[in-house]
Amino acid sequence: MASDDFKRLGSRLRAARRTRGLSLSEVASATDMSASFLSHVENGKGDITFMRLRRLVALYGMQLVDLVAAPHPADDRVVRANERTDINNDQEDISMYLLAPDSKRSMMPILCVFARGADSAEPLRIESEEFLHVVHGALQISFEDGEEIRLAEGDSIYLIEPHRTRSYRNVSRGRTVTLSVVSPPAL
Name the percent of the chain lying above pLDDT 70: 90
pLDDT at res. 80: 81
Q: Work out how many domains the chain is built from and give that number.
A: 2
Asked whether residue 128 is assigned to any structural domain, the reply reads yes
Report the CATH number that the domain containing residue 47 is assigned in CATH.
1.10.260.40
Residues 12 and 88 in one domain: no
Name the percent of the chain lying above pLDDT 90: 32
For residue 139, pLDDT over 90 is answered with yes
Dihedral of the alpha carbons of 1, 126, 128, 107, in degrees to the nearest 10: 0
| SS3 state at 130 | strand
Q: In which band, very low, low, confident or very high, does the pLDDT at 3 lie, cut at 50, 70 and 90?
A: low
Which of the residue ranges 62-66, 105-109, 128-132 has the most confident prediction, judged by mean pLDDT? 128-132
Tens of pLDDT, residues 31-55: 999 989 998 888 888 788 878 888 8
**Over the chain, what is the mean pLDDT?**
85
Residues 161 and 95 in one domain: yes
Residues 90 and 49: beta-carbon distance below 8 Å = yes
Residues 126 and 50 in one domain: no
Asked whether residue 133 is assigned to any structural domain, the reply reads yes
pLDDT at res. 181: 94
Residues 58 and 85 in one domain: no
| Whole-angstrom distance, CA of residue 16 vs CA of residue 14 | 5
Residues 57 and 106 in one domain: no
- Which has the higher per-residue pLDDT, 147 or 9? 147
Expressed as residue numbers, the domain containing 125 is: 81-183
Residues 71 and 93: beta-carbon distance below 8 Å = no
Q: In which band, very low, low, confident or very high, does the pLDDT at 1 lie, cut at 50, 70 and 90?
A: very low
For residue 149, pLDDT over 80 is answered with yes
Residues 115 and 154 in one domain: yes
Q: Facing residues of 132 across strands?
A: 157, 180
Residues 39 and 88 in one domain: no
**Beta pairing, strands 166-170 & 138-143:** antiparallel
Residues 24 and 90 in one domain: no
- How buried is 7 (Cβ within 10 angstroms: 0-12 exposed, 13-18 middle, 19+ buried)? middle
Per residue, the 3-state secondary structure of 65-85, as one string, reads HHHHCCCCCCCCCCCCHHHCE
For residue 183, pLDDT over 60 is answered with yes
For residue 22, pLDDT over 90 is answered with no
Asked whether residue 45 is assigned to any structural domain, the reply reads yes
| Whole-angstrom distance, CA of residue 167 vs CA of residue 73 | 33
